[in-house]
Amino acid sequence: MKDLPIAPPPARRRPGAPGRPKPARSPAYARIAIGSSQKAIYYSSMTTDPVSPAAATSYLTRPEGRVAYDIDGAGPLVVLVPGMGDLRSTYRFLAPTLRDAGYRVACTDLRGHGDSDTTFAAYGDTSTAADVAALIEEAGGPAIVVGNSMAAGSAVLAAAQRPSLVAGLVLIGPFVRDPETSLVQRIMLRVAMARPWAATSWKAYLPKLYAGRRPADFDDYRKQVVAGIRRPGHAKAFSRTTRTSHAPAEARLGDVTAPVLIIMGEADPDFGDQRAEAAWIAEALHGQVIMVPEAGHYPQSQRPDITTPAIVRFADTVNNRA
């Protein structure tokens, strides 16, 4: 496979400077309420066929509950963080390849998701950032943090608040600022994600988020995700997570000093102009961009043939192993 094109980083400019473009209105925020390097690469990284199960579950003890994660491999640490409404197994195609490439890989669930507890008082970007920092400390960092969707904002916060713990960032389908939405859209989202029907709404909406190619195990994986939300207490935790604000992450973009790779699906329905949003984030973070064809909000599982080698190569560069 030939080298993937990575856009050169633009000159750094602190976010919030006069004239920066507003985020494009997110179509998804309206529709969800209505319808509800190249070394040691596993064959699994070149396909969307299912791979072997992850390592045994461990738990990170936090003041109000436990956060579930699994960890395996040897070498520099990489922490993989899913977005809201998702499971740590969203990285089922990436994690084995990273381990085989010589990395110690920790995959974590969010609070109130997957195998994590639902006893927390707070959910969202800021809380997840604190959990990520605590996990890196427990596992022995520093670490490259890979965050999808909401978790990209959390990764930014962790890097800004605890720079000694974060060696690099990979932001996938990243929400690092709030999309421009109307009051009506916000109310519709709140209603759609209310506890009584959160699982049903999310089940109906997931196919839209997987615009483009889908993994071969998409149907089974969607069942796992929905079953997770239907576990006792999880729908409430998920509903509360959807109310998070990405404003704290946007406010700290200028404080991030770690190298950054931005990965954006060309068909991601959460962004009105995917390329413009990726370019804005790259300018704010002095990062590099990969636009992924035939991928929506989950390029890590929709196009692992593109994203996995790129992430391994980025990790090798960060760790001076390229």
Per-residue pLDDT tens over the stretch 43-71 = 344 455 544 455 799 999 999 999 999 99
Q: Model's pTM, two decimal places?
A: 0.84
Residue 269 burial by Cβ neighbours in a 10 Å radius (0-12, 13-18, 19+): buried
Q: Provide mean pLDDT across the span 195-212.
A: 87
Is the predicted pLDDT of residue 15 greater than 60, yes or no? no
Predicted confidence band of residue 89 (pLDDT cuts 50, 70, 90): very high
Among 259, 287, 264, residue whose Cα is nearest residue 15? 287
Q: Provide mean pLDDT across the span 152-181.
A: 95
The whole-chain average pLDDT of the chain stands at 84
Q: Which two tokens stand for residue 44?
A: 């699994």
Is the predicted pLDDT of residue 185 greater than 90, yes or no? no
The dihedral formed by the CA atoms of 266, 110, 108 and 82, expressed in degrees to the nearest 10: 0
Q: What's the pLDDT at 188? A: 54
Residue 294 burial by Cβ neighbours in a 10 Å radius (0-12, 13-18, 19+): middle
Is the predicted pLDDT of residue 146 greater than 50, yes or no? yes
DSSP 159-224: HHH-GGGEEEEEEES---S-----HHHHHHHHHHTSGGGHHHHHHHHHHHHT-S---TTHHHHHHH
pLDDT digits (tens, 9 = 90+) for 218-255: 999 999 999 999 999 999 999 999 888 999 999 999 99
Among 218, 211, 221, 179, residue whose Cα is nearest residue 294? 211
Percent of the chain with pLDDT over 70: 77
Q: Provide mean pLDDT across the span 74-101.
A: 97
Q: What's the pLDDT at 196? A: 64
